[in-house]
Amino acid sequence: MALKHTIFKVELSIADMDRHYYETHSLTVAQHPSETEERMMVRVLAFARHAHERLVFGKGLSTDDEPDLWQKDYTEAINVWIDVGLPDEKRIRKACGRSDNVVVYLYGGNIADMWWKDNASKIKQLAKVSVFNLPDTEPLKQLVKRNMTLQCSIQDGEMWLSDEAGAHLMHVDVLQTAAALT
């Protein structure tokens, strides 16, 4: 018998002063059976940083031809492709052919640093790609509940994620910014 997804409900209020984006999103987030809570919360964090009315979660880890999150326009063209974790460089290159912008969120401490060291020279050749590293995702695990009410504040590049128990500063290191976004 196959394991089923675990469903999380997230009420996410975003105040992004850098982009002048202020909105509340009611999200249903499916955690794949092989996905950690940490990875799932990195997807929520990526949603908060790129929030848009057409940004949606992909089908998940079991689907190779979809990202973790994506934003399509009304013609179904992909505007933004977002991957979380340590994607294969070939996958990123393929995403560049399908999307206007590709965003990668690395996490995992030393393993993410090693991934960037091994792939930076190839990734830097891809003008559509932005790469961010989350050096400490431990605070994200503290926020996990089946029903979450989260607030996200972004100002001057700093990102705060909070719930009723407290606020956490989420450091996001910019490793590469896409030429289209500069």
Model confidence at 59: pLDDT above 80 = yes
* Cα distance between residue 12 and residue 10, in whole Å: 6
- Burial string for 60-76 (b: 16+ CB within 10 Å, else e) reads beeeeeebbbbbeeeee
Domain at 6-181, CATH class: alpha beta
- What's the pTM? 0.94
How sure is the predictor about 182, in pLDDT bands with cuts at 50, 70 and 90?
A: very low
Round the average pLDDT of the chain to a whole number and report it: 93
Q: How confident is the model over 166-179, as a mean pLDDT? A: 93
Percent of residues, the chain, with pLDDT higher than 90: 88
Q: Give, as one character, the DSSP assignment of residue 127.
A: T
Neighbours of 117 (CB within 10 A): 9
User: Mind listing the pLDDT tens digit for each residue in 85-142?
Assistant: 999 999 999 999 999 999 999 999 999 999 999 999 999 999 999 999 999 999 999 9
* Cα distance between residue 174 and residue 18, in whole Å: 15
Model confidence at 4: pLDDT above 90 = no
Residue 47 has φ and ψ, to the nearest 5°, of -60, -45
How sure is the predictor about 62, in pLDDT bands with cuts at 50, 70 and 90?
A: low
Percent of residues, the chain, with pLDDT higher than 70: 95
Neighbours of 52 (CB within 10 A): 15
Residue 122 has φ and ψ, to the nearest 5°, of -75, -40
Cα torsion through 73, 78, 84, 85, rounded to 10 = 180
CA 141 to chain centre: 15
